[in-house]
Amino acid sequence: MSEEAGIVILGAGQAGGEVASELRKLGYTGRVTMIGDEPHVPYRRPPLSKAYYAGLVTAEELYVVPLASLEKAEIEFIGGVRATHIDREHKQVSLEDGRSIPYHKLVIATGGRARPLPLEGADRPNVFLLRTIDDIERIRASSKPGARMVIIGGGFIGLETAAVALKLGLQVTVLEGLPRVLARVTIPEVSAFFERVHREAGVDLRTGAQVAGLEGDERITHVHLTDGSRIEADLVVVGIGLIANTELAESAGLVVNNGVIVDEYACTSDPDIVAAGDCTNHPSQYLGRRVRLESVPNAMEQGKVAANTLIGNKVPYHSVPWFWSDQYDLKLQMVGLSEGFDEFVVRGDLSDPNTRSFAVFYFKDGHLLSVDAVNKPQEFMLSKKLVAERARLNPQALTNEKVPFKTLIAEARA
């Protein structure tokens, strides 16, 4: 296929939008076509379970690249249409409306979809997944003050939704199947902190709560647990993780293994196809292994790398993972992954029930591996660099809250 076909981007999410804008910033003047199955131009998902659910921002304020900017940049946007097949031999993509779109180079940025609850009744109209603007619109329409919301899943999305729902006047129950919330991403002490905060705010938070079934005919009225309890529900929100959208890549014969396999330049196993964002599995220099991440920084930074690769620049993707979550007045910021740590110290007092800010530093063999910071922006910002370089520090030297963190770093290095 000739170069005139240009670059086609599958998926108009955070990563797809980033590739498109970055291509123009880098001076690419060829044709760029972005295809998305949602009707919206690329938008930021993080506010969905935060400010957007709370009604504090409009859908337009979520748009990363508004339609006018896309038009100005001459990026063709085909929205509300699903791509159904990639024909690598003839270098074209089939759409569900029968169209075929040729490409010179292809970008797979298909992200992921919310994991549905594998239970009878999960398709009732008052059971909601939470991934898109449209999902939140539906949840908000049912979020009447006094309504009983049961959230299944005590991960970031479930907990953020709980915090907003309380503010909207709902009665909120959170059910987490594991013995503690946020179990996959942090230590028991931090989980206990968030559990306390939510309970104090008024959430009925139950851990080790195994959902056995949903009850109700037209609408779900109760959620049953394996311990025999029966919880009344006017609406049920399911936040139990994500399934990467890799089917298109897989059926096209690309190598897929917990995500579309890419190298550090976002290249797939086809030299004419790159991929970026939640749907990819990339080699992480920081971790020393492959990883599939679900975060905005990953989507954006890998999107930039993919755009560079498309125009022939060799810019490797070597970022350290980072993430944030907003719940009530708390901003949690995490940099690095704590897996394999052998020591941790806390700057702040987690045993004090009034604590609203602290930072946990995780070490391996004396090197800083990762940091979880709650309302400690300076610690987070400065730690990003320290984690990236796996700085060798004296852990105890970081804990003195009376001395500014910046000053302590120099002492801790000594």
Ligand X SMILES: Cc1cc2nc3c(=O)[nH]c(=O)nc-3n(C[C@H](O)[C@H](O)[C@H](O)COP(=O)(O)OP(=O)(O)OC[C@H]3O[C@@H](n4cnc5c(N)ncnc54)[C@H](O)[C@@H]3O)c2cc1C
Binding status of residue 278 toward ligand X by CB under 6 A: yes
CA proximity to 393, closest of 357, 355, 347, 356: 347
Total residues binding ligand X (CB under 6 A): 37
Q: How far apart are CA 225 and CA 238, in angstroms?
A: 15
Tokens describing residue 374: 């709650």
DSSP string, 124-135: STTEEE-SSHHH
Footprint of ligand X on 141-160 (CB under 6 A): 157
Sole binder of ligand X in the list 105, 131, 180, 376 (CB under 6 A) = 131
Binding status of residue 259 toward ligand X by CB under 6 A: no
Q: Which residue is nearest to ligand X (CB)?
A: 13
Q: How far apart are CA 248 and CA 72, in angstroms?
A: 30
CA proximity to 324, closest of 358, 291, 297, 356: 297
Sole binder of ligand X in the list 54, 57, 82, 88 (CB under 6 A) = 82
Q: Which stretch binds ligand X (CB under 6 A): 23-31, 106-114, 216-224, 256-264?
A: 106-114
Q: Which stretch binds ligand X (CB under 6 A): 34-42, 170-178, 213-221, 308-316?
A: 34-42
Reduced to 3 states (helix: H, G, I; strand: E, B; else coil), residue 374 is strand
Q: How far apart are CA 346 and CA 361, in angstroms?
A: 6
- What are the φ and ψ backbone dihedral angles of 87, each rounded to 5 degrees? -100, 100
> Measured from the CB of residue 44, what is the shortest distance to ligand X in angstroms?
7
Q: Which stretch of DSSP H or E encloses residue 172?
A: strand 171-176
CA proximity to 59, closest of 135, 168, 143, 129: 135
> Measured from the CB of residue 400, what is the shortest distance to ligand X in angstroms?
30
DSSP string, 78-90: EES--EEEEETTT
Q: Which stretch binds ligand X (CB under 6 A): 33-41, 115-123, 195-203, 222-230?
A: 33-41
Please classify residue 69 by burial: count the beta carbons closer than 10 Å to its beta carbon, then call 0-12 exposed, 13-18 middle and 19+ buried.
middle
Starting at the edge strand found earlier in the chain, the sheet holding 358-364 runs: 322-327, 330-335, 367-374, 358-364, 343-347
Binding status of residue 138 toward ligand X by CB under 6 A: no
Q: How far apart are CA 373 and CA 375, in angstroms?
A: 6
Footprint of ligand X on 294-353 (CB under 6 A): 294-297, 299, 323-325
Angle at 14 between CA 8 and CA 20, to 5 degrees: 35
Q: How far apart are CA 109 and CA 34, in angstroms?
A: 10
Comparing CB distances to ligand X, the nearer of 252 and 412 is 252
Binding status of residue 130 toward ligand X by CB under 6 A: yes
Instruction: Please answer whether residues 355 and 348 qualify as being in contact, where contact means their C-beta atoms are separated by less than 8 angstroms.
Output: yes
Comparing CB distances to ligand X, the nearer of 238 and 368 is 238
Binding status of residue 165 toward ligand X by CB under 6 A: no
Binding status of residue 16 toward ligand X by CB under 6 A: yes
Which single residue is written with the structure tokens 């005139």? 4
Please report, as a single letter, which amino acid is at residue 324: W
Reduced to 3 states (helix: H, G, I; strand: E, B; else coil), residue 345 is strand
Binding status of residue 19 toward ligand X by CB under 6 A: no
Sole binder of ligand X in the list 7, 9, 34, 48 (CB under 6 A) = 48
Sole binder of ligand X in the list 7, 8, 9, 15 (CB under 6 A) = 15
> Measured from the CB of residue 260, what is the shortest distance to ligand X in angstroms?
11
Footprint of ligand X on 174-233 (CB under 6 A): none
Sole binder of ligand X in the list 245, 246, 308, 338 (CB under 6 A) = 245
Sole binder of ligand X in the list 20, 21, 46, 236 (CB under 6 A) = 46
Sole binder of ligand X in the list 5, 7, 9, 13 (CB under 6 A) = 13
Q: Which stretch binds ligand X (CB under 6 A): 8-16, 62-70, 167-175, 281-289?
A: 8-16
Comparing CB distances to ligand X, the nearer of 129 and 368 is 129
> Measured from the CB of residue 112, what is the shortest distance to ligand X in angstroms?
5
Sole binder of ligand X in the list 64, 65, 109, 163 (CB under 6 A) = 109
Please classify residue 19 by burial: count the beta carbons closer than 10 Å to its beta carbon, then call 0-12 exposed, 13-18 middle and 19+ buried.
buried
Binding status of residue 94 toward ligand X by CB under 6 A: no
* DSSP conformation class of 218: S
Sole binder of ligand X in the list 111, 153, 158, 336 (CB under 6 A) = 111
Binding residues for ligand X, rule: CB under 6 A, are: 10-16, 35-38, 45-46, 48-49, 82-83, 109-112, 130-131, 157, 245, 248, 277-279, 294-297, 299, 323-325
